[in-house]
Amino acid sequence: MTATALNDLTTAHGALASGPFGDSVAPRLLPPLTSVILVDDAQPLDHIGHPRISLALWRRRVDPKIERAVASLPTERLLNGRIALGSTETQAQCMARLQDLLQEHAVEPAGLGWWLADMAMLAELFTDLVRRTLGPRPITARVETLDRVSCPRFHVDRTGLRLLCTYRGPGTEWLPDEEIDRSALANRQPNEAIQHGTQPRALQPFWVGLFKGECFPGNAGRGQVHRSPAVPPDDLRVLFCLDA
């Protein structure tokens, strides 16, 4: 399926416009978001290399097997682990590295195989995409369970590319380029000064967001603006992040 520029998107507080994945509670057409594309499979993620595109969203359905697995993660012991991946590691190698990471943080990987396999698939996909768009470079993988907001302020990443997938809890919030005051962002003004729209958009659980950072060639001053969401009380946010 080809990539589609976004007119209809989801805000952090629910759907704003009707689309193929559900009806809206308050339908209305948003301004054309020329810097964002929506895809239904992995192949069109390559469009992130286009100079005009700063965010590619892969709209994935929730996998019940993985959903059950991450629901079993301990809430009393938070996970914040990271590993370095080579630019040519296979899915099997990534899965073994991620399994070791969980064990190092006292998380028993038994019963988490489907989740580990999905993260390993994303890691292999990301390393291949980075190799083709940016050339060989180190990849950092992070697996986190969060009980509070980690980055509440809108910001851009000092990376070339970042992949984010939330498996449990609210997803990353972001702003289209048309609704950003970049001067306010650079001057570290409050979120309200940075954001011109009514509500930030948000990734849904299991969606994959491919964010272009400030260090992508030719993208200085145009990195995708985003922030971490608030985490509901007595709940966890389970996040997988890949940086290059």
pLDDT band at 113 (very low <50, low <70, confident <90, very high): very high
- Euclidean distance between CA atoms 55 and 174, whole angstroms: 9
- Token pair of 25 as six digits: 């509670």
| pLDDT at site 21 | 30
Over pLDDT 90: what percentage of the chain? Answer: 64
pLDDT band at 13 (very low <50, low <70, confident <90, very high): very low
- Euclidean distance between CA atoms 169 and 232, whole angstroms: 8
Least reliable range by pLDDT among 110-119, 178-187, 199-208: 178-187
pLDDT band at 33 (very low <50, low <70, confident <90, very high): low
Interval 190-208 mean pLDDT: 90
- Euclidean distance between CA atoms 27 and 25, whole angstroms: 6
| pLDDT at site 22 | 32
Helices (H), 17-90: 64-71
| pLDDT at site 3 | 41
Q: Residues for the chain: how many in total?
A: 244
Comparing 123 with 109, the larger pLDDT belongs to: 123
- Is the pLDDT at 5 greater than 60? The verdict is no
Strand-pair category, 139-146 with 237-243: antiparallel
Domain ranges of the chain: 49-233
| pLDDT at site 106 | 86
Write out pLDDT tens, residues 40-92. 999 999 999 999 999 999 999 999 999 999 998 887 778 889 999 988 889 99
- Can you tell me whether residue 148 is helix, strand or coil? coil
